[in-house]
Each structure stands twice: as structure tokens, then as C-alpha cells.
Amino acid sequence: MPIHEQSLIRPENLTTHEEKIIDGIDVSGHWSTFIESRVVTDYNEQMEDEIAALPGGEFIHRCWQCGSCTNSCTVNAVNPEFNPRFWIYLIRMGIESELIRDKDIIWQCVSCNKCTYACPRDVYPEGVMKATSHWLELKGHTPQSPSAIFDEVCTDQIVDTGKIEDGRTLRRFMQKTGQSLLQDWIVAMIKQLVSHLPVSLLAKMGLSTLIAPRTSGWSGARRALKRYIEEQQTEQQMAVNPVVAGEEKH
Amino acid sequence: MTNPILIAGGGPAGLAASHALSCLGFKSILVEKEDRLGGAPILSGYAKLVPSGEWARDAIGGMVERAMNDPLIDVRLNTTVTSFSGESGRFSAGLSDGSGADTGAAILCTGFTHFDPVNKPEWGFGTFEDVVTTTQVEQMISSGQGVRCPSDQRKPKRVAILLCVGSRDRQIGREWCSKICCTVSANIAMEIREELPDCHVYIYYMDIRTFGLYETKYYWKSQEEFKIKYIKARIAEVTSDGERLIVKGEDTLVKRPITIPFDMVVHAIGMDPNTDNRSISSVFGVTLEPNGYVDQLSVYGTVGATSRPGVFVAGSAKGPETIDDSIAQGHAAAVAALAAANPAAETA
């Protein structure tokens, strides 16, 4: 449903008191229904700057609200609540509370980039969606998504050893997401592997899982990667929370 | 030899018309009611002009100097035309200084009058000191003083520019689009950001009409390079909380009421018909169109023809106009007037 067709009065903005007496008049129950104000009383100018400072969000200020992104959007076709144009506007005007209401939808962007090619002003809405999800996560509005955890497990291993080892990846991912390794599908997969793979290959796999071999001469690459990741993280923290991050740095 | 051409009004159109005639070797009488030439850009102290970016005092000032030093242009300052009789090719004009002149044709370059925003009291002009007009901001910039809140000379942290003040508003009988205010506002917004990089500038609009090449040069540039924010909303009222101005309206894109604090509110004032148009109409015997501008008889046949043969019109006397188009129309009207003043040229 396009935004302008949504009801202006939301259930969560209504309050009623079971027992309420105002100036001696009993207004208990629905007689005391109040509608919370929808008035925007200020612009939060920091919000756009924060998201613009994250990778992908650089060109958000170009948006003139034509709606080409939303019209071309793959996800919008399935879920009309997914409205990049609207979110870009909320970010630009700093209407944070409204954006956070949609925090569980924003990350659903599938990065098909149809919006990127539809946008007449090169806003790169796909990038803005990425930056916005990232911002929501950095600000603590959304928990780390399972896919982000999976990425992290893989990245950590590559930084550490230069390789990804499947068994280790699976174990760490299940552990970090609080899932048991004794899943039916895992048990079935291991049974199949044991019964079908040649013994030599199985031995090699088992050994790899145990000793986690490194790419030779990796230590230099590891140092460089770690330094780069640290720089990026500091930069992003600075963008989202300049005061705190600045103090930490000194 | 043809009688000189009478040109009423020494703004961009009048200056261009007199210069065009002089280039062709013909005399003109340039009548200006104020004490100097230049019209609105000079009299109202405009800053940098659209689209050249040149200062008005240099660009239009140059045209003024050229006219003042031209022996073929008879400049009459502090003067108006009081009577105008005869017919095309043989008019006789009476001037307010008591003199008279025989003239072959006349060109009305009498311009416009800035809309006075006290006629929109709900937007706070005249009530709150920090509500100003685009003309005032132009003057702040051109005087070198810089953009400051008039109440206490502080640098504004947040500025709202309201478009269509005195334009496109049936409530006050002004249905026309004043054509230049969107572009001028984008230009002013960029100048504010240039001087005060920490100042946030918001433009409240109904439509953005930065027509033609102004799209990239003003609208896009103001958004992409200067981060000006455009909000689709017609403001309901401007009030104050005692410290700052409060702008109330509806943000139509999120369908929510807004009451936002601002340090300064700028009215992008429109172009009214010249307040003298009724007397101009009666002196020159030309009709006005329904909005009160000088009526143009023909668009395609004779450029700038009015309802009276031999009397022509150029620039914002016949409707809101840009400076560069006024200049072009001044040139065009000069040629049309010359042909009317010298019928031999037509038959030859």
C-alpha cells in the first residue's frame, strides 16, 4: 500500500484510560481516548550526514522524491511496505522514529540494482538501502542478521588463515547463532560424506578441521587486512557517533 | 530622418532598446521616472544575476554607463510621460519636466513592481523582523554585509525559503507564475550556503520551475553540490516561539503536519504588474490584459505590438520576465518600433 493510503491514526498512537476523571467528569474507557500528535517538530540534520558517511549512502542528498526507485523495486512488488523513496525522505528530514518503525523491512533489499538504473539523479538507492541497514545495526536498532554473522565467520577465518574451512565455518556459525550442531540435516550430511567419500579425502578433511592450515606467508597479508578493517570500523563509528568515537581515539 | 523613438523606462529592456537603436544610427529618448537608470536590478540592489553570475552593478551598470555616454540616447531622469497623442510615425509626447517631443514610435519598458508580502500576513512579513524577502537577501549579499538575521545581526543556522509568495494565489488575485523566483531562490540558497557553510537551507515549494537550462545550473546544483533541501509543502503560517520563527504547514510527502523552528524565513516574492500600469495605460492609450500587465497584441507577427499601433512593449511590463529575455525583447521591440516610425522602410 503506498504511504499516502495508509491510515493516519495508528493503533499504537491511541491511548485510553480504564479509569479517568478530568475536572470531576468521568471519562473512563473510550471517552478518554487520546491520539498522539503526528506533528514533526524539528529536523534532525545529523541523520542524513551519518548515513551519507557510510558506504553506499554518499549520494542520498540528490534525491528529489520522484519515486522511480520504489516503482522499479523488486521487493516493493512483493511487499508494498518496502518503499526506498519514503525512507530516503525520512532520512533526509531526520524523522528517525518513522524510519525505525520499518527496521525489519529495510534490510530485505535484494540488491538487484533496478533502482540504480531507474534513478534519474544517480542517488544509487541500492547503496542507500545498504548504508541504512548498516546504520540501523551500528546504532543498535537491529541485531546482527544471521547472514552478517555468517559473513563475519568467513571473514575472520580468511583474515586469520587465508582460507575458509567448511567444518570450522559450520561449527562457529551454529555456535554464534545459538544452534545445536546435532541438526538432522547435518547428521544426514555427515553420514552421506562418510559412506561415499574416499578415505584419503576424509582424512584430509578431518586433518584440516583440526589443524586449520594457513596460506604460506600469510602473516603480512593478515596484518594489512586487520589494519584496513580497523580503519574502516573506526571511520564508520566516527560517522555514526562522532563524539564517542572521537574520544576513544584520543 | 526619422523622429526619435520614445522609450519609457530605463531598466534592462529600455537600456537594450535604446542601445539597439543607437547601433543602427537612430536616436532615442530614454525617459526614467527614478533618479538613475538600471531598473529593478540596480534600484533594488540585486546581487549576482541569473544565469551569468555577474554582479548586477557590473552587468547592468555597464549597460547604464553605455547609455549615459551615448550621444544618440537622450536620457531624461526623474521624468515621466504625461501625454501621448498622434499616430504611428508622428506622435507627440508631453513630459513631466514641461518639455515635449516629436517621436515616431514608443516602447513601453516600464517593468514590474515587487509583490509586497504584507499582503500575505499569515507568513509573518512585517510582524517578525527575521522574515525577509528575496530582495532583502539580495541586498544583504550585494552590500557585502552578508546574510544576517535583521533582529540581532546573528548568522542564521537554519533558513527557510518560501516560494510563490505573491504568485499562483487566487486568494490575493495573483494567478500567474512569476517565472524567476524558483531559480533566484536556488541561487540565493547556494549563496547563503557559500557564505555560511553551517547554515541549513530549506526551500518550501509547490512546484519547482527552474525552466530550461536552469534545471542543472540551479536546481540540480543546489541539491547536489550545496545540499539544499526541497520540501513539497505550502506553508500555512509563520509564527514565533519568542526566540525563533516557527514555520507551520504540511509535509505532503509524509502527510504529516510540521512546526519547524527557523532563524530566518525568506519570501520569494513575485512580480506584480507595475503599480503605475493604469496611468501608463491611459497616457499611452494601450489596453491591459486581465492581470494588469500591458496587453500584447501579437505574439508572432510584430514583436511587442500593443493595442495601439506604433506603441510597443518589452520586458516585464507585459508579464513576469527574466533579465536576459527582457534585453532580447528590448532589441526586438526596437526593430519593430523603427519600422513603425519609418513607414518608408516598410514600403521600400
Is A90 in contact with B230 (Cβ distance < 8 A)?
no
Candidates B84, B83, B88, B106; CA nearest to B29 is B106
Q: Are residues B121 and B266 in the same domain?
A: yes
**What is the pLDDT at residue A7?**
72
At B334, the pLDDT band (50, 70, 90 cuts) reads: very high
Same structural domain for residues B136 and B257?
Answer: yes
What three-state secondary structure class fits B276? coil
Domain span at residue A213? 146-238
pLDDT at A244 over 80: no
Number of separate helices (H) and strands (E) present in chain B = 10, 18
Q: Kindly state the average pLDDT of the residues B113-134.
A: 96
Q: Is the dihedral of CA B314, B315, B317, B319 positive or negative?
A: positive
Compute the mean pLDDT over every residue in chain B, rounded to the nearest whole number: 95
Which of B75, B84, B83, B63 has the alpha carbon at shortest distance from B20?
B63
pLDDT of A175 > 60? The answer is yes
Are the C-beta atoms of B29 and B4 separated by less than 8 Å? yes
Pairing label, strands B100-103, B271-273: unpaired
Which is more confidently placed, A6 or A95? A95
pLDDT level of residue A167 (50, 70, 90 thresholds): confident
Q: Are residues B123 and B266 in the same domain?
A: yes
Residue B345 has pLDDT above 80, yes or no: no
User: Hey, is the C-beta of B229 within 8 angstroms of any chain A C-beta?
Assistant: yes
Q: How near does any CA of chain B get to the CA of A62, in Å?
A: 5
Please tell me what DSSP assigns to residue B315.
G
Task: Give the Cα separation of B346 and B328 in Å (integer).
Answer: 22
The answer to whether B58 faces chain A, any CB pair under 8 Å, is no
Q: Same domain, yes or no, for B138 and B239? A: yes
Rounded CA separation B234/B164 (Å) = 9
Q: Which of B32, B25, B190 is nearest to B96 (CA)?
A: B32
Q: Which residues of chain B neighbour A97 with C-beta distances below 8 Å?
A: none
Domain for residue A121, yes or no? yes
Q: Name B268's Cβ contacts closer than 8 Å, sequence gap at least 6.
A: B134, B161, B162, B163, B164, B165, B181, B182, B184, B185
The more confidently predicted of residues B264 and A45 is B264
Query: Do residues A119 and A175 share a domain?
Result: no
Q: Which of A106-120, A140-154, B213-227, B287-301 has the lowest mean pLDDT?
A: A140-154
Q: Is the pLDDT of residue B1 over 60?
A: no
Q: For residue A107, is it within any domain?
A: yes
Same structural domain, B29 and B44: yes
> Comparing B139 with B3, which gets the higher pLDDT?
B139
Q: Measured between CB atoms, which of B158, B229, B259 is closest to A92?
A: B229
> Which pLDDT does position A1 carry in this prediction?
44
Q: Name A98's Cβ contacts closer than 8 Å, sequence gap at least 6.
A: A90, B254
* Confidence label for A36 from pLDDT (cuts 50, 70 and 90): confident
- B260 in the same domain as B131: yes
Q: How many CA atoms lie within 13 A of A136 on its CB side?
A: 24
A204 and A125 together in one domain: no
What local confidence, expressed as pLDDT, does residue B144 receive? 95
Query: Quick one: B210 and B128 in the same domain?
Result: yes
For residues B10-35, give the mean pLDDT: 97
B217 and B280: one domain?
A: no
Q: Tell me the C-alpha distance between B108 and B284, whole Å.
A: 9
Residue A213 included in any domain:
yes
Last residue of a domain, one of B227, B244, B271: B271
Residue ending a domain, choose from B271, B303, B320:
B271
Residues of B in contact with A92 (CB under 8 A): 229
User: Which residue from A238, A229, A231 is spatially nearest to A54, judged by alpha carbons?
Assistant: A238
Do A49 and A134 reside in the same domain of the chain?
Answer: yes
Q: What are phi and psi of A54, to 5 degrees?
A: -90, 150
Cβ distance A121 to B220 less than 8 Å, yes or no, reads: yes
Q: Does residue A209 share a domain with residue A188?
A: yes
- Mean pLDDT calculated for residue range B125-140: 97
Owning domain of residue B334: 5-111+274-347
Do B318 and B251 share a structural domain? Answer: no
Which chain B residue shows the shortest CA-CA distance from A120? B220
Q: Which of A82, A110, A138 is the last residue of a domain?
A: A138
Q: How many domains does chain B have?
A: 2
CB distance from A96 to chain B under 8 Å? no
Mean local confidence (pLDDT), A156-180: 91
Q: What is the pLDDT of residues A77-92, one digit of tens each?
A: 999 999 999 999 999 9
Q: Mean per-residue pLDDT for A197-219? A: 87
3-state secondary structure of B329: helix
B residues 147-176 near A, CB within 8 Å?
158
Quick one: A5 exposed, middle or buried, by C-beta within 10 A (0-12, 13-18, 19+)? exposed
Distance from CA of A63 to the nearest CA of B (A): 8
> What is the band of B311 on the pLDDT scale with cuts at 50, 70, 90?
very high
For A3, the grid coordinates are: 504511504
Share of chain B above pLDDT 90, in %: 93
Residues A25 and A86 in one domain: no
Rounded to the nearest integer, the mean pLDDT of chain A is 88
CB contacts of A70 in chain B (<8 Å) are none
Question: Mean pLDDT across the stretch B165-190?
Answer: 96
* B258 shares contact with chain A (CB less than 8 Å): yes
Q: Are residues B196 and B290 in the same domain?
A: no
pLDDT value for B344: 62
Domain boundary among B271, B297, B321: B271
pLDDT of residue A31: 87
Cα dihedral sign, B139-B142-B143-B148: positive
Alpha carbons within 13 angstroms on the beta-carbon side of residue A228 total 8
Mean pLDDT score, B186-192: 97
Assigned C-alpha cell, A227: 589494519
Which residue has cell 551598470? B61
Lowest-confidence segment of B44-53, B148-157, B339-348 by average pLDDT: B339-348
Residue B26, Cβ density class (10 Å: 0-12 exposed, 13-18 middle, ≥19 buried): buried
Shared domain for B93 and B127, answered yes or no, is no
The confidence score (pLDDT) of residue B17 equals: 98
What is the layout of strands, in order, in the sheet containing B105-108?
Answer: B73-76, B28-31, B5-8, B105-108, B311-313
A17/A75 same-domain check: no
Same domain? A156 vs A126: no
pLDDT range class, residue B348, cuts 50, 70, 90: very low
What pLDDT was estimated at residue B254? 85
Can you tell me the distance from the alpha carbon of A22 to that of B231, in angstroms, rounded to the nearest whole number?
40
Confidence of residue A250 (pLDDT cuts 50, 70, 90): very low
For residue A123, the SS3 value is: coil
Cell readout for A218 is 600469510
Average pLDDT value for residue range A106-111: 92
Q: Do B230 and B163 fall within a single domain?
A: yes
Query: Looking at the predicted structure, is the pLDDT value of residue B219 above 70?
Result: yes
Give the CATH number, domain containing residue B130: 3.50.50.60
State whether A89 and B229 contact (CB < 8 Å): no
As beta bridge partners, residue B258 has A40, B249
Residue A207 confidence (pLDDT) = 86
When CB atoms are compared, the residue of A40, A61, A62 closest to B256 is A40
Question: Which of A138, A157, A192 is a domain's end point?
Answer: A138
DSSP 8-class letter at B157: S
Please judge whether A93 and B257 are an interchain contact, meaning their C-beta atoms are less than 8 angstroms apart: no
| Neighbouring C-alpha atoms within 13 Å toward the C-beta of B71 | 1
pLDDT of residue A153: 93
> Does the interface predicted TM-score (ipTM) exceed 0.90?
no
- Give CA–CA dist B42/A119, Å, rounded: 42
Query: Which three cell numbers mark B193?
Result: 550556503
Provide mean pLDDT across the span B236-247. 95
Find all residues with CB under 8 Å of B187, minimum gap 6, and list them.
B48, B50, B218, B222
| A122 exposure class (CB count in 10 Å sphere: 0-12, 13-18, 19+) | exposed
Query: What 3-state class would DSSP assign to B347?
Result: helix
Q: How many domains does chain A have?
A: 3
